[in-house]
Amino acid sequence: MKPDYAPFSKGLAFGDFCIIVLLGWILVSNMSLKHSGGILESLECAFDEAMPRIVSMNKLAQQPYKKRDPSLPKGRQVDDGSLAEVAALLGDLSLRRDMLIEALHLLQDGVGHLKAGHLTALADIFRLAQAEVYEVASFYHHFDIVKEDQAPPPPLTIRICDGLSCEMAGANALIEGMKAAADPAQIRIQAVPCIGQCDSAPAANLGKRSVKRATVPDLLSAAAQDTGPEMPEYEDFEAYKAKGGYSVLAKVIAGEIKPDDAVKTMSDAGLRGLGGAGFPAGMKWGFVRGYEGPRLMTVNGDEGEPGTFKDRWWLETQPHRMIEGALIAAHVVGCDEIYVYMRDEYPHILQLLLIEFAKVNASGFADHAPLKLRRGAGAYICGEESAMIESIEGKRGMPRHRPPFIAEVGLFGRPTLNHNIETVSWIPDILEHGAKWFAGQGWSEKNNGLRSFSVSGRVKEPGVKLAPAGIPLNKLIEEYCGGMAEGHSFKAFLPGGASGGIFPAHMADLPMDFGTFEAHGGFLGSHAVVILSDKDSVRDAALNTMRFFKHESCGQCTPCRAGTDKMVMMLQDPATDHQLYEDLMQVMGDSSICGLGQAASNCVKHLMKYFPEEMA
Ligand SMILES: Cc1cc2nc3c(=O)[nH]c(=O)nc-3n(C[C@H](O)[C@H](O)[C@H](O)COP(=O)(O)O)c2cc1C
Ligand code: SF4
Ligand code: FES
């Protein structure tokens, strides 16, 4: 049967004709050459090679085009029902591009998942390409896309952490137990990375509620009750103000504390960034002030490093120290707006910040830099500052290439001051009591200030420990954590979560401060200390961290995306050649775009160096 309409066949016939004429011309012109034998031979070969291609192209030309109904426009169509449903769910949400993730949250929360038809309608409403909406929705773990032919997830999701501290506390058995006990039509069980409750391991998030030291009966009974966020007893705006809160900000706004003096005090105090990198705060303020405005500020509350939960503690107890600190920094540096990015795993904090931001914005204290809240959606990489900025702009959280650094070209292309929650929480106290007061609280003259260490694992009393910067870990365990847990003897520790490496107990006399562990190929990062005992396998711990990085790699660069996957496979195979580890670690460390890929193999590196018996 002939095809209905095959215009391409004309094109092919013309193409064949051209090739034959060309070959003929080369053949004739070469006949006049004296030494034409070799050329003729190669032309024959070329002709032989070209013929099958011409034949197959002719076959292709006879394929009919797929028919489409000409009465319909092209592409996936928006239906009126979905448009109306999405419009109702969005309410009065602003339809700017940077609100896309907020919009996806409204749909996910409202329906329990993201219907394919709703995504099409959302793209239409936001005037975005459907691919753009889909790529964002599919990037984040907390969004469930359900296509037309797929079943929606059950009404309740229980996310059980299988991060290192929770795994040591029996998370895997809990996950299996819940999978066996829960009705799959009603409850979905997901194993997820650290949810920032490592001091109460094994921990789970049930709907929007956390369950600490969870057991199967606990989770089943909690599932039958209210699953909304449980509000902590925090110090609210009124209580904070009543005890003198916001008085330092008032002095800064009134000019009683001059911007230059504030920057100098920060530098003299030696306040370092506590999100992981430890960059001196005063120096960062100076850099951002040096770039022409308008400028913006971001506060990083993504707190996803396994083992870290200090920012949660700061916000659950005294959120206004962070808010006042951010408003002071924004005033000194000249930032016009403050975006606070909070991880979605802390729904109670998101709710309390919404309430408290409204009070502060209405009080006049934030007139120079109104506070805005942005909600993450379950992607660890969004803690990396440039990925966080992408996410605030409503995009996939993929780290940017540098330079330019965000201090120069950050949020919405503007110079941006970014700080961790704890870093800004120290600002009011430092300006009130002075640089010497802060600096003097370190363990020695070389260490400045207090730090909040998140301690979890095999200690008697895990939790957030406010202790002098530079304190040796042995002292931290004995004097702040009640010693090792009953029946456990100290074997190894991770000083800075999954990225900072893993060290043997005999190195626990080193000062816990920036700069110490770097000399040994690790770092303190966000001060997430996980303690392992003689009952634990360092190899299993390293595998746990590598699985985490494999799960959380944004996939943008091959050394990290493929390297983390490969490293997991290698760790699972005891016969893996050691040289292969060395080679892969070097490639990942040298050529990954961001800190995730660069630091992902630190624990494996230390496993080989300090615990060779576990690699045999
Ligand atoms: C993979 C990765 C994850 C990160 N996660 C966080 C985080 O959850 N919270 C945070 O404050 N900083 C995080 N950081 C560090 C930030 O990029 C940035 O250095 C920090 O927010 C700056 O604030 P600070 O100077 O007050 O520490 C992360 C960095 C990397 C490479
Ligand atoms: S190193 Fe990993 S997380 Fe970072 S950009 Fe590359 S793929 Fe993404
Ligand atoms: S909550 Fe499980 S490891 Fe942090």
State residue 49's pLDDT score: 59
Residue the block writes with tokens 């009130």: 432
Distance (angstroms) between ligand 3 centre and the Cα of 305 equals: 9
Among 42-46, 89-93, 95-99, 398-402, which is the least confidently predicted range?
42-46
Distance (angstroms) between ligand 3 centre and the Cα of 527 equals: 15
Query: How far, in Å, CA of 267 to CA of 255, rounded?
Result: 19
Cα–Cα nearest to 200, from 312, 315, 317: 312
Residue the block writes with tokens 């990925």: 387
- Bond prior to 319 in cis (omega within 30° of 0): no
Are 425 and 300 in contact by the 8 Å Cβ rule? The answer is: no
Q: Is the pLDDT of residue 304 over 90?
A: yes
Joined together, the tokens standing for residue 101 give 């993730």
Chain mean pLDDT for the chain: 92
pLDDT band at 14 (very low <50, low <70, confident <90, very high): very low
Three-state SS at 451: strand
Q: Is the pLDDT of residue 56 over 60?
A: no
| Residue of 396, 398, 567, 601 with the most ligand 2 atoms within 8 Å of its CB, for mutation | 398
- Which one-letter DSSP state was computed for residue 479? I
For the chain, first and last CA: distance in Å?
Answer: 68
Q: Looking at residues 161-183, what average pLDDT do you find?
A: 98
The tens digit of pLDDT for each residue in 59-112 reads 656 666 777 778 878 888 899 999 999 999 999 999 999 999 999 999 999 999
Which residues have C-beta within 8 Å of that of residue 549, sequence separation ≥ 6? 498, 560, 564, 596, 597, 600
Distance (angstroms) between ligand 1 centre and the Cα of 301 equals: 9
Cα–Cα nearest to 345, from 181, 511, 163: 163
The tens digit of pLDDT for each residue in 417-429 reads 999 999 999 999 9
Which residues have C-beta within 8 Å of that of residue 455, sequence separation ≥ 6? 199, 462, 463, 464, 465, 476, 477, 480, 481, 529, 531
Three-state SS at 373: strand
Are 201 and 166 in contact by the 8 Å Cβ rule? The answer is: yes
Specify the ligand 3 atom closest to the Cα of 171.
2
Distance (angstroms) between ligand 1 centre and the Cα of 269 equals: 21
| Residue of 588, 596, 598, 602 with the most ligand 2 atoms within 8 Å of its CB, for mutation | 596
State residue 30's pLDDT score: 43
For residue 474, count CB atoms less than 10 angstroms from its CB and return exposed for 0-12, middle for 13-18, buried for 19 or more. middle
Which residues have C-beta within 8 Å of that of residue 338, sequence separation ≥ 6? 296, 297, 298, 299, 326, 327, 330, 366, 369, 370, 371, 372
Query: How far, in Å, CA of 258 to CA of 253, rounded?
Result: 9
Q: Which long-range contacts (CB under 8 A, 24 or more apart) does 62-65 make?
A: 62/3, 62/6, 62/9, 63/3, 63/6, 64/3, 64/4, 64/5, 64/6, 65/3, 65/4, 65/5, 65/6
Joined together, the tokens standing for residue 372 give 């805005």
Buried b (16+ CB within 10 A) or exposed e, 397-410: bbbbeeeeebbbbb
Specify the ligand 2 atom closest to the Cα of 399.
5
pLDDT band at 616 (very low <50, low <70, confident <90, very high): confident
Cα–Cα nearest to 282, from 413, 411, 448: 448
Torsion of CA 464, 469, 472, 475, to 10 degrees: -50
**HSE-CB for 250 with a 13 A CA cutoff:** 8
As for ligand 2, residues whose beta carbon falls within 6 Å of it are 381, 399, 553-557, 560-561, 592-594, 596-597
Torsion of CA 28, 29, 31, 33, to 10 degrees: 180
Are 443 and 468 in contact by the 8 Å Cβ rule? The answer is: yes
Are 227 and 206 in contact by the 8 Å Cβ rule? The answer is: yes
Joined together, the tokens standing for residue 521 give 């190929």
Query: How far, in Å, CA of 420 to CA of 44, rounded?
Result: 70
Which residues have C-beta within 8 Å of that of residue 27, sequence separation ≥ 6? 40, 43
Q: Is the pLDDT of residue 535 over 60?
A: yes
Q: Amino acid identity of 332?
A: V
State residue 29's pLDDT score: 45
Three-state SS at 231: coil
Q: Is the pLDDT of residue 5 over 80?
A: no
For residue 597, count CB atoms less than 10 angstroms from its CB and return exposed for 0-12, middle for 13-18, buried for 19 or more. buried
Q: What angle do CA 309, 311, 314 make, to 5 degrees?
A: 115
Distance (angstroms) between ligand 3 centre and the Cα of 494 equals: 14
- Tell me which residue has its CA closest to atom 1 in ligand 1: 596
Beta bridge partners of residue 416, listed in sequence order = 296
Q: Is the pLDDT of residue 28 over 50?
A: no
Share of the chain above pLDDT 90, in %: 87
Beta bridge partners of residue 157, listed in sequence order = 188
| Residue of 340, 384, 452, 598 with the most ligand 1 atoms within 8 Å of its CB, for mutation | 384
Joined together, the tokens standing for residue 133 give 């909406």
Beta bridge partners of residue 189, listed in sequence order = 158
The tens digit of pLDDT for each residue in 331-351 reads 999 999 999 999 999 999 999
Q: Is the pLDDT of residue 17 over 70?
A: no
pLDDT band at 471 (very low <50, low <70, confident <90, very high): very high
Ligand 1 close to Cβ of residue 525 (< 6 A):
no
pLDDT band at 2 (very low <50, low <70, confident <90, very high): very low
State residue 3's pLDDT score: 34
Q: Looking at residues 232-246, what average pLDDT do you find?
A: 98
Three-state SS at 529: strand
Higher pLDDT, 6 or 229: 229
- Tell me which residue has its CA closest to atom 8 in ligand 2: 554
State residue 388's pLDDT score: 98
Angle, nearest 10°, between helix axes 100-111 and 130-137? Answer: 70
pLDDT band at 52 (very low <50, low <70, confident <90, very high): low
Ligand 1 close to Cβ of residue 418 (< 6 A):
yes
Are 598 and 589 in contact by the 8 Å Cβ rule? The answer is: yes
Query: How far, in Å, CA of 385 to CA of 472, rounded?
Result: 29
The tens digit of pLDDT for each residue in 494-507 reads 999 999 999 999 99
Q: CA separation (Å) from 459 to 354, 379, 504? A: 35, 29, 16
The residue count of the chain comes to 616
Joined together, the tokens standing for residue 327 give 């408003």
Q: Is the pLDDT of residue 546 over 80?
A: yes
